[in-house]
A and B are shown apart, each in its own frame.
Chain A
Amino acid sequence: MKQNIKKLSYFLLSIFVILLFYLTYITFQQGEALATHPQNRRMAAKEAAIIRGTIYDRQGVSLAETKWQGQAGQRVYQTVEHVFPSAHVVGYVSERYGSSGLEAAYSKELLGLTEADAVENLLDKILNRTPRGNDLILTLDASLQSRALALLGNRRGAVVALDPRTGAVLAMVSSPAFNSNTLKDPEVWNQLNKDEANAPLLNRATQGAYPPGSVIKLVTGAGILTNQVDQPEKTIDCPGYVIIDGNKIADNQVHHQVNFSKALAVSCNTYFAQEGVKLGWHNLLNTFEKFGLNQNPHLEIPVRAGTFAAAERRNKSQLAETSFGQGDTLLSPLHMALACAAIANHGTIMKPYLVKEIRKPEGQVVRVTESTPWLTATTPEIAGLITQGMVGAVDWGTGSGASLRGIKVAGKTGTAETKNTQDPTSAPHAWFVGFAPADNPQVVVAVIVEKGGSGSKVAAPIARDVMAAALSGK
């Protein structure tokens, strides 16, 4: 019988060893997933006990801060006339609806839960202090933000302004904006989500997908010059239309003799269609890629990379249309601003960024974002030639609506057709990209007004005011 008891004891002890192994398995194999599972309320509870850091604009204006009331905090966002102009960039944080924008991307920093904060957090625990996260100082300018949003008014659209020398994003607004403070009301939340026509929660500046229209000519132009399809001085005759592959493509008017520079200034579709076809699909797409149009600049908020005609649709007339910004091309305002920044910054695109600094609540700097080059899009010479054409556009061409007194402005308008079989009378998207001062660029602006009309009349004046505000603000 002793033998049996021994065997039984081995059995019982070994099932406990199984428990030991299984518990270890849970801890190491499933622990991370279980600890961060969305239904696990521990993360939320932990976060709720931390005073979330403040988000400031570049001038120190508070965009989002937590007002601590005893046991819990309330996140308060800046409002200008009942909306938060930076709502899409800063985003929101809600127990019920999760988080978005920089609130989501910098959650760890704002909560002070990065590895660098470990010592501080331990001290907080020991001293029983309410932990407070780090502050963000953005590159955005709050007054420029509200100015840009006011300029868009009640029209749908977006404005992106950045410093081409550093990549710092000075303004990024999407209209319509919303009031982040009211999201906790389920009714408001549902309304914002249901409004498909206006899609107020969509950040049009980075996630909008628009045909670029003539503003793409900056990039096509760089491709033409880089691949030496024709000399910039060479002129062609524009009869007001061009026939590609038997399809007649109408131009906006008869431009007569146009060279490269004039073609940019007057936005001649005939020139770019013809030269684009000569350039060919391979070189055109190559140029688009060099300008980062189909790439994600990793801005830390969601960005939709641009898309072009699918491989099976790449015929000659699609090529001509793509060259002047129609066809299947869909881009975001951010991508157009970055492409324009390449021209402004001698061919180099600096990596765009939104967060300038991360600071501890006491003011000690944790991290400073250093500006780094992102892409080399073209050469300084070609950038210079394109700038000439863009200056011409503002001085005497299509972009005159963007001219500023005493400051040389370079710009390019775009009027992207949105007509299709379902909506044959749809108004075009109004585009403008440009920079100022043209000889020493400090600000690049991209403006789109959805179905707003012509780029010259609608988008150029908005860009002018944004550039003026950005330059005077410095």
Chain B
Amino acid sequence: MLANLRKEERSLLYYITAFLAVGVLVLYLGQPEFNTVYELALGSGYKLPFWWFVVMLSIGTMAGFWLISAYWRVAGFKCDPYLMPITASLTALGLIFLFRLRPQYAERQFAWLLFGLVALVIITTLLRKMDWLEDYKYIYVAAGVILLVLPIFFGREQYGARSWLDLGLFQLQSSEFVKLLLVMFLASFLAENRRVLSAGSDQLWGISIPGIREYGPLVVMWGISLLILVFQKDLGTALIYFCTFLAMIYAATARMFYVSAGLLLFFLGGTVAYYIFDHVQARVDIWLNPWAYSSGKGYQIVQSLFALGSGGLFGSGLGQGLPGLIPAVHTDFIFSAIVEELGLVGGCAVLVLYMCFIFRGFMIALNARNDFTALLATGFTALMGLQTFIIIAGVIKLLPMTGVTLPFISYGGSSLVANFVLLGMLLNVSHEVNQGNETEY
């Protein structure tokens, strides 16, 4: 069975290659007159026909995934065979839509994708044995805090959030990487302390009352989330940090106390933030009634709803809709573009792909060999799932809109690289599982 893992993976990659090819072909047929010369932004102005550019990037993407699979086979890496194809299909879909919406961003995204794939190779090579990672939890905290604090002093404000680090050649959104450090820290912290945390130390009238040791982490985490909210004005990231924390502490301790107290604190913080910060208040007001602000601050969400509603069951067809009417459609609102052009069917397919990712992620967590790796896999999967849920719920107006990227699909370099690191870590856990249990899968 195990020998077939990579074969299965590669055959799935062929389907995805076909999918990407069909997408590019449809785009080409949709506008054959669009044969402008494309000038590479990153290649010092090198010019080539637009469709050559598209085909080259597509081939480059699929070749990248295929080579990694081939490398894993040679290197004897026994990870889950479905996660990478799921990721590849999401990436391919993202590329198709970036070609269609903003070709310059497709080029940048491709460059970031190469970084991401390299990161994936490095992580699946160097970090295969994961146990030692448990010992460096305070280094994660230190690194995380530094990464979080840097943009406050040296950062640039973009899209209303101050979380970008300007590194000259490119910009880095450090909070994307802090997410990973957060999960690693929590996994090691909880693996060590989960028994203490689940028991409860004092009792008062028969009810276990948590001591400082128990609600300490909760309050600290809540504080960190609030700080992000205050200093970086990044509502989405704060929400993801806090929810991931709650998910992991629940998985580790099974105590609803943490979840309910956490939610209580969250609503407390949210209510206070609503009254103190204009941008939080604006987000909530827009969510409650975007139509009242349809030409002002609610414009984006209203345009997103128009795109969703115009798609119908099968969509307008790739390249045939007008998703360009939505501001920032290539990042936060790319899901609306997908639904407009591929319809409800396409939107549901994307959701199901993410559900498959989450399912595989939790399967890995359930089979993990020790608490640390189980929590690590749980945390990464929950992080991925929550982020996806929060952004999609935002663009379809189920929840207030918070600016985060749609993993693997949205344009966003830091997010893409961070998500490949996350994928690499998950795959490392699954490699460990499969190595120890040859009959599994």
Residue A188 CB within 8 A of the other chain: no
Let me know if A23 and B354 touch, CB within 8 A. no
B344 A42 Cβ-Cβ under 8 A: no
In the bound complex, residues from chain B placing their C-beta under 8 Å from that of A22 are 393, 396, 398
Within 8 A of A (CB), among B285-302: 294-295, 302
Instruction: Provide the bound-state CA to CA distance between A7 and B254, in Å.
Output: 9
Contact B306 A23 (CB under 8 A): no
> Which residues on B sit within 8 Å (CB–CB) of A39?
294-295, 302, 306
In chain A, positions 310-340 with a C-beta closer than 8 Å to chain B are none
Q: Quick check: B305 and A1 within 8 Å, CB to CB?
A: no
CB-CB under 8 A from A8, the residues of chain B are 247, 250-251, 362, 378, 382
For residue A33, which residue of chain B has the nearest CB? B309
A197 at the B interface (CB under 8 A) = no
Partner of A19, one of B253, B365, B381, B396: B396
Residues from chain A with a CB closer than 8 A to the CB of B305 are: 26, 30, 34
Contact A16 B358 (CB under 8 A): yes
Bits for B334-358, please: 1 = Cβ < 8 Å to A, else 0. Answer: 0000010001100110010011001
Residue of B nearest to A24 (CB): B344
CB of B312 within 8 A of CB of A35, answer yes
User: Residue of A at shortest CB range from B308?
Assistant: A26
A41-B325 contact given A5-B378, A22-B396, A23-B339, CB 8 Å threshold: yes
Measured in the bound complex, the distance between the Cα atoms of B313 and A122 in whole Å is 17
User: Closest chain A residue to B347 by CB distance?
Assistant: A23
Interface string of A55-67 (1 = CB under 8 A from B): 0000000000000
* Residues in chain A near residue B396, CB distance under 8 A: 19, 22-23, 26
Is B322 at the interface (CB under 8 A from chain A)? yes
Q: Is B358 within 8 A of A35, CB to CB?
A: no
Residues on B with C-beta less than 8 A from A9 are 358-359, 362, 365, 381
Task: Report if B12 contacts A (CB, 8 A).
Answer: no
Complex interface: stretch among B112-120, B261-269, B384-392: B384-392
Interface residues of A in 107-157 (CB under 8 A from B): 125, 128
When distances are taken between beta carbons in the complex, the residues of chain A under 8 Å from B362 are 5-6, 8-9, 12
A40 partner residues in chain B, CB cutoff 8 A: 306, 309-310
Shortest Cβ distance from residue A270 to the other chain B in the assembled complex, whole angstroms: 62
Quick check: A1 and B251 within 8 Å, CB to CB?
Answer: yes
- The answer to whether A19 touches B392, judged by C-beta atoms less than 8 angstroms apart, is yes
| Contact flag A27-B382 (CB < 8 Å), given A8-B247, A8-B251, A42-B306 | no
In the complex, the answer to whether A41 meets B355 with C-beta atoms within 8 Å is no
- Complex contact A35–B309 (CB within 8 A): yes
Q: How many whole Å from A6's CB to the nearest CB in chain B?
A: 7
B250 touches A34 (CB 8 A): no
The listed residue (A5, A6, A45) touching B322 by CB distance below 8 A is: A45
Q: In whole angstroms, how far apart are the Cα atoms of A26 and B348 in the complex? A: 12
C-beta contact mask, B308-344 vs A, less than 8 Å → 1, else 0? Answer: 1111110000001110010000000000000100011
Q: Which residues of A contact B343 (CB under 8 A)?
A: 27
Query: Whose C-beta in chain A lies nearest to the C-beta of B340?
Result: A42
Q: Which of A12, A18, A37 contacts B358 (CB 8 A)?
A: A12
Interfacial chain B residues near A7, Cβ < 8 Å = 250
Inter-subunit contact B32/A19 (CB<8 Å): no
The answer to whether A26 and B306 touch across the interface, beta carbons within 8 angstroms, is no
* Beta-carbon contact of B358 and A4 below 8 Å: no
User: What is the CB-to-nearest-CB distance from A71 to chain B, in angstroms, rounded to a whole number?
Assistant: 11
| Nearest CB on B from A3, distance (A) | 7
CB distance from B30 to the nearest CB of A (A): 9
Which single residue of chain B is at the shortest CB-CB distance from A34? B309
Q: Are A19 and B309 in contact (CB under 8 A)?
A: no
Q: Is B374 an interface residue when CB atoms closer than 8 A count as contact?
A: yes
Per the 8 Å Cβ criterion, residues 393-418 of B in contact with A are 393, 396, 398
The reply to whether B374 and A26 form a contact with Cβ atoms under 8 Å apart is no
Check B233 for interface membership: any CB of A closer than 8 A.
no
Alpha-carbon separation in the docked complex, A19 to B396 (Å)? 9
Given contacts A5-B365, A8-B378, A26-B308, contact A16 B313 (CB under 8 A): no
Specify which chain B residues have a CB less than 8 angstroms from the CB of A24 in the assembled complex: 344, 348
Partner of A23, one of B254, B308, B374: B308
Interface mask (B366-382 → A, CB under 8 Å = 1, otherwise 0): 10000100100010011
Give the distance in Å from the alpha carbon of A40 to the alpha carbon of B252 in the complex. 48
- Tell me the count of chain B residues lying within 8 A, CB to CB, of chain A: 50
Chain A nearest Cβ from B381, distance in angstroms: 8
Q: Taking the complex as formed, is B194 at the interface, i.e. its CB lies under 8 A from any CB of chain A?
A: yes
Interface residues of A in 216-258 (CB under 8 A from B): none
Q: How far is the CB of A273 from chain B (nearest CB, A)?
A: 57
A residues in contact with B254, CB < 8 Å: 1, 3-4
Is there a chain B Cβ closer than 8 Å to A405's Cβ? no
A1, A13, A22, A37: residue with the most chain B Cβ atoms closer than 10 Å: A1
The distance from the CB of B422 to the nearest CB of chain A, in whole angstroms, is 15
**Closest chain A CB from B284 CB (angstroms):** 18
Taking CB as reference atom, which chain A residue is nearest B316? Answer: A42
Contact A1-B252, Cβ < 8 Å, known A16-B355, A27-B313, A42-B322: yes
Give Cα A30 to B321, complex, Å.
Answer: 18
A474 contacts chain B at the CB level, 8 A cutoff: no
Q: Who on chain B is nearest to A10 by CB?
A: B362
Nearest chain B CB to A374's CB is how many angstroms away?
Answer: 39
- Whether, in the assembled complex, A2 has its beta carbon less than 8 Å from a beta carbon of chain B, the answer is yes
Contacts of A16 in B (CB 8 A): 351, 354-355, 358, 385, 388-389
Query: In the bound complex, do residue B322 and residue A41 qualify as a contact, i.e. CB atoms below 8 Å apart?
Result: yes
Q: Does A31 contact B (CB under 8 A)?
A: yes
A20 near B382 with CB under 8 A, answer: no
- Whether A27 contacts B386 by the Cβ 8 Å rule is no
* Cα A1 to Cα B368 with chains together (Å): 11
Q: Is the CB of B310 within 8 A of A13?
A: no
Chain A residues with CB under 8 A of B295: 39
- Is A15 positioned at the interface, with any CB of B under 8 Å from its CB? yes
Tell whether, in the assembled complex, residue A34 and residue B312 are in contact, meaning their CB atoms are under 8 Å apart: no
List A contacts of B252 (CB < 8 A).
1, 4
Q: Do A5 and B251 touch across chains, with their CB atoms under 8 A apart?
A: yes
Whole-angstrom distance from the CB of B376 to the nearest CB of chain A? 12
Residues of A within 8 A of B325 (CB): 41-42
In the bound complex, do residue B385 and residue A12 qualify as a contact, i.e. CB atoms below 8 Å apart? yes
Residue of B32, B310, B359, B386 near A128 (CB, 8 A) is B32
| Shortest beta-carbon distance from A451 to chain B in Å | 44
Q: Chain A's nearest CB lies how many Å from the CB of B414? A: 24
- Establish whether residues B371 and A1, one from each chain, have CB atoms under 8 Å apart when the complex forms: yes
A35/B347 contact (C-beta < 8 A), A5-B365, A22-B398 known: no
Q: Whole-angstrom distance from the CB of A319 to the nearest CB of chain B?
A: 51
CB proximity to A under 8 Å, residues B102-121: none
Given A1-B252, A16-B388, A31-B312, 8 other A-B contacts at CB below 8 A? A5-B374, A12-B385, A16-B358, A19-B393, A27-B311, A33-B309, A37-B306, A42-B325
In the A-B complex, the 10 residue pairs with the closest CB atoms: A34-B309, A9-B362, A40-B306, A27-B344, A35-B310, A12-B385, A4-B254, A31-B309, A4-B251, A16-B355
Q: Which residues of A contact B (CB under 8 A)?
A: 1-9, 12-13, 15-16, 18-20, 22-24, 26-27, 30-35, 37, 39-42, 45, 125, 128
List 29 A–B pairs whose Cβ atoms lie within 8 Å, in order of A's numbering: A1-B371, A5-B251, A5-B365, A8-B247, A12-B247, A12-B362, A12-B382, A12-B386, A13-B358, A13-B359, A16-B351, A16-B389, A19-B393, A19-B398, A23-B347, A24-B348, A26-B396, A27-B339, A31-B309, A32-B309, A34-B308, A34-B309, A37-B306, A39-B294, A39-B295, A39-B302, A40-B306, A40-B310, A125-B320
Using a CB–CB distance below 8 Å, which chain B residues touch chain A?
32-33, 194, 247, 250-254, 294-295, 302, 305-306, 308-313, 320-322, 325, 339, 343-344, 347-348, 351, 354-355, 358-359, 362, 365-366, 371, 374, 378, 381-382, 385-386, 388-389, 392-393, 396, 398
